[in-house]
Amino acid sequence: MMKLPLLLNQACSQPLYEQLAERIEQLIQEGTLNAGDRLPSVRKLHQQLQVSISSILEAYRLLEDRGLIRARPQSGYYVKVNASYFLAEPTPSTPSLNVCSVDTSLAFQINNAVRHPDVIKLGAAVPSPELFPRKTLNRMMGQVIRTHPEMVHAYDMSPGCELLRQQVAKRLIEAGCSISPEEVVTTNGATEAVYLSLKAVTQPGDTVAIESPTYSGLLEILDALHLRALELPTHPREGLCLNHLETALKEKKIAACAVVSNFSNPLGTCMSDEKKQQLVDLMNVYDTPLIEDDIYGELYHHGNRPKALKAFDQGGNVLYCASVSKTLSPGLRVGWAIPGQSIKKVKALKMTMNLTCAIAPQLTVATFLANGGYDHHLRRLRSAYRVQMEQMQAVITHSFPPETCISRPQGGHVLWLELSPNFDAMALYEKALQNKISISPGIIFSPSRSYRNCLRLNCGLPWSSTVEEALKTLGNLTHQLLATSVEK
């Protein structure tokens, strides 16, 4: 590893080991060092700093005690945390447990504003197009037109392009799912998959149980389908509270439950396998459909692909939804649903709504999944999202008030920030827009307009001084707004 900038002051009264520990802590807090990084060996540091071996060992022991680094036998010392460690995690949510109607007119307005081409898009959960293999995709689209010059113009019908459905089924093996291509219905993105799935299992006026906070696009769908929402308490790392879900299933007429199973939007939650099994079992017991949006499932930052809820689904009660909009190309509008028992209904609704999807984009994605180096691309993409998120966490740790709570997603590309209860993220949203920066205020993630003191930030943009400056500006604005609210 490169040399760390560790200037110590021999003349200072503070012991050298304390200075060294503080300096390393600072490097973590600044985001220079991140979880998983290896620290210089004791011998190397001894040579570099001209500090005694015992002092260095003492400094490392201090950092271990503080929970910042860990020793691995035969290997050395490793950083255990990221910058965000110095901020607390958001508190588990405690929504009111009243069924409420959904009005997304404000969210719609905000979602339009945050995507304006002139702003730095920290509001919308959009990836940066530079991260996508556009050249390869374009080459493959050309190839598709040459190979299937007639098929791309045919009158196709739902369930859509077979080559794509085969590839989707194949990819899902990694998520623990055993799916046949016949079970897949292709859709215009995951959004349409969720829309069709929810429409297939509900009637207007029905109630759907959701995470709180939840993805604002899901709320828009509930609104469009005349559905009501029951917000359930949700833990920032563990997800939906199953006890509350069970109570709701027992007491109220819940038509369905809809969750983002892996690296949820906006909290970044990824349920454990054990909890996934429990959730699927619970929904089975109450014979209530479970809609799974797994759009971020392949964007894990560490380890292996987390399983889908669908992997635990024996009876076909899970309606699985995903797309390539966060991993390959949003503009191709290629997604899919695997609706289990509800496949007949979903296929019919898709036919009724728009027959099927454009064929060339489906074939292009099928070709890329088959031999475009998707796994290689995903490795690079995951690493980019992980690093961008760490960089953002580090700047937030420095620029935002120390009482800011921040989520610790293990995948995806969004961060959730919770500020002190008197903070108004709508005011920050407006101030930020004046500075040509977009954020998503917390209220759009809740039908009851909770989370007024929260906001979501997008880490999809490649790191740049513009993004860094934008974050610092957000930090300053937050300080100012909090100062004003205290004065009042």
Residues that bind a second copy (CB under 8 A): 104, 108, 111-112, 115, 124, 126, 129, 132, 134-135, 137-138, 141-142, 145-146, 149-157, 187-189, 191-192, 195, 199, 203-204, 217, 220-221, 223-224, 226, 325, 329-334, 348-349, 351-361
Q: Least CB distance from residue 113 to a second copy, whole Å?
A: 12
Q: Least CB distance from residue 170 to a second copy, whole Å?
A: 23
DSSP 8-class letter at 128: -
- In three-state form (DSSP H/G/I as H, E/B as E, the rest C), the secondary structure along 131-181 is HCCHHHHHHHHHHHHHHCCCHHHCCCCCCCCHHHHHHHHHHHHHHCCCCCH
Rounded distance, CA 258 to CA 314, Å? 18
Tell me the two tokens of residue 327.
Answer: 């991993």
CB nearer a second copy, residue 6 or residue 358: 358
CB nearer a second copy, residue 19 or residue 207: 207
Q: Least CB distance from residue 196 to a second copy, whole Å?
A: 9
CB nearer a second copy, residue 224 or residue 285: 224
Rounded distance, CA 177 to CA 168, Å? 11
Q: Is 261 helix (H, G, I), strand (E, B) or coil?
A: coil
CB nearer a second copy, residue 152 or residue 474: 152
CB nearer a second copy, residue 357 or residue 395: 357
**Which of 350, 374, 18, 386 lies closest to 188 in space, CA to CA?**
350
DSSP string of 335-392? EEEE-GGGHHHHHHHHHHHHSS--HHHHHHHHHHHHHS-HHHHHHHHHHHHHHHHHHH
CB nearer a second copy, residue 129 or residue 373: 129
Q: Least CB distance from residue 360 to a second copy, whole Å?
A: 6
Rounded distance, CA 200 to CA 263, Å? 25
Q: Least CB distance from residue 365 to a second copy, whole Å?
A: 10
CB nearer a second copy, residue 200 or residue 248: 200
What b/e readout covers 274-284, taking b as 16+ CB neighbours within 10 angstroms?
ebbebbbebbb
CB nearer a second copy, residue 137 or residue 433: 137
CB nearer a second copy, residue 305 or residue 333: 333
Q: Least CB distance from residue 120 to a second copy, whole Å?
A: 15
Radius of gyration of the chain (CA): 24
Rounded distance, CA 443 to CA 231, Å? 13
Q: Least CB distance from residue 386 to a second copy, whole Å?
A: 21
CB under 8 A, 24+ apart: contacts of 51-54: 51/8, 51/16, 51/20, 52/16
CB nearer a second copy, residue 145 or residue 282: 145
DSSP 8-class letter at 130: G
Q: Least CB distance from residue 377 to a second copy, whole Å?
A: 13
DSSP string of 281-324? HHHHHTT--EEEE-TTTT-BSSSSPPPPGGGG-SSS-EEEEEES
Strand partners, 147: none
Q: Least CB distance from residue 145 to a second copy, whole Å?
A: 5
CB nearer a second copy, residue 125 or residue 249: 125
Q: Least CB distance from residue 482 to a second copy, whole Å?
A: 33
* Dihedrals phi, psi of 62, to nearest 5 degrees: -60, -45
**Which of 60, 76, 85 lies closest to 408 in space, CA to CA?**
85
Q: Least CB distance from residue 388 to a second copy, whole Å?
A: 17
First to last CA, the chain: 51
CB nearer a second copy, residue 361 or residue 372: 361
Q: Least CB distance from residue 69 to a second copy, whole Å?
A: 39
Task: Say if residue 250 is exposed, middle or buried (CB neighbours under 10 Å; 0-12, 13-18, 19+).
Answer: exposed
Q: Could you tell me if 110 and 441 are in contact, meaning their C-beta atoms sit under 8 angstroms apart? A: yes
Q: Could you tell me if 193 and 187 are in contact, meaning their C-beta atoms sit under 8 angstroms apart? A: yes
CB nearer a second copy, residue 12 or residue 154: 154
Q: Least CB distance from residue 56 to a second copy, whole Å?
A: 49
